[in-house]
Amino acid sequence: MKRRSFLHRSGYAAAALTVGGCSVLRRRRYDNYKPAGTIPRRTLGKTGIAVSMFGFGSHLKPDLIADPARRDKMIKTGFEGGINFFDVYDHSNYLQFKPMGKSLREFRKEAVVSLCAVKKTDEVQAEIDGALGDFFTDYIDCYRLYTVDDDRIEILERNRSAGKIRAIGVVSHDEKEMMGYIDRYGNVLDYVMIAYNFHHNIGLFREKDPVANDYSALIPRCERMGLGILGIKPMGSDAMVALARERGFFRDPKANIAQAMLRFVYAVPEIDCTMTAMNSWEELALNLESAYEPEIRPYERTILDDLSRIAAQTKAAYLPSHYRWLENWHKTAAV
């Protein structure tokens, strides 16, 4: 079923207004939101897989996990709104393979399903086969590894050869580690997943750097090798959002800071798809609208620079201790 026709029969109605040049949804009846726009698509590296520039992230809050009907409506509305990339977790108490498989079933062939292998090595094959059943499909589009070694890469490579996986990827929160993965497995990999946002973005040399294509720069290297790039944490973590709220950025009538964060990443052509978790109708609606008008405005860059400077001044104190590794990706750090 085509995404544009999928929800028309469900009776969704628009409820939007414009304030200060920024699209803001009414605070009532978010569940009646009807998306109206087009999200640009990019090709995931050398894979030929077309992905929406903005995707549906994995992380769910407990109240949404406990409300599968609402989650189902949000997923289908996201698809109707132009999202075709869906990253799904089945670990850390998320357990979303089965419900997401049901939500995506009617338009499975038009969706790009992205999963992460988390089981022990001797259980990865069973994990893949189980995912095929959960998603009512004979292939998973993107399968990545968080724990990476020869045996696990070989399992994914074998499944790609068998047609059960279309693209193999790895994820890392450390640039040097990711460069090592590319050193060892670059001829096997199809894509990488990295943290990238207005504050944590040292994977890409800035124009002022004298050697923009130096081999040690992660993103230029991926581009030369034809590796797709998936960006995560486009808003710099919940802690960054909390810092922005604490410092009054969400009260700015001229721009929505969350939309500015997403538009910053859209402006980087090397990032094929960026994704964020969406746990409310307001988040889904505002994020979709950011992708319908993806060009970042000068004022949005200004407020992002202000927030980045404030975050840097805290010396990572804005982050909980288990997330302070994110500052290793701070954009002013040496590469």
Q: Which residue matches tokens 């810092």?
A: 243
* 208 CB-near residues (< 8 Å, 6+ apart): none
* 85 CB-near residues (< 8 Å, 6+ apart): 51, 52, 54, 55, 56, 111, 112, 114, 273, 275
Top mean pLDDT of 26-40, 199-213, 299-313 is at: 299-313
Task: Give the pLDDT confidence score for residue 198 in this predicted structure.
Answer: 95
pLDDT of residue 302 exceeding 70: yes
Task: Give the pLDDT confidence score for residue 21 in this predicted structure.
Answer: 36
pLDDT in tens, 65-122: 999 999 999 999 999 999 999 999 998 888 999 999 999 999 999 999 999 999 999 9
Overall average pLDDT of the 188-213 stretch: 77
For residue 322, with 0-12 CB atoms within 10 Å meaning exposed, 13-18 middle and 19 or more buried, which class applies? exposed
CA of 151: how far to CAs of 56, 185, 296, in Å? 30, 12, 43
Residue 311 lies in a domain: no
Spatial contact of 10 and 106, defined as CB atoms under 8 Å apart: no
Of 246, 270, 244, 271, which Cα lies nearest the Cα of 255? 244
Residue 90 lies in a domain: yes
pTM of the model: 0.88
Distance CA 331, CA 54 (A): 22
Task: Give the pLDDT confidence score for residue 91 in this predicted structure.
Answer: 86
Task: Give the pLDDT confidence score for residue 31 in this predicted structure.
Answer: 63
| DSSP code for 117 | E
Residue 100 lies in a domain: yes
Sorting pLDDT into bands at 50, 70 and 90, what band is 30? Answer: low
Q: Would you put residue 11 in left (φ > 0), alpha (ψ -120 to 50) or beta?
A: left
pLDDT of residue 27 exceeding 70: no
Domain count along the chain: 1
Spatial contact of 35 and 16, defined as CB atoms under 8 Å apart: no
Task: Give the pLDDT confidence score for residue 143 in this predicted structure.
Answer: 98
Residue 327 lies in a domain: no
Residue 82 lies in a domain: yes
Supply the range of the domain harboring residue 210.
37-233+272-292
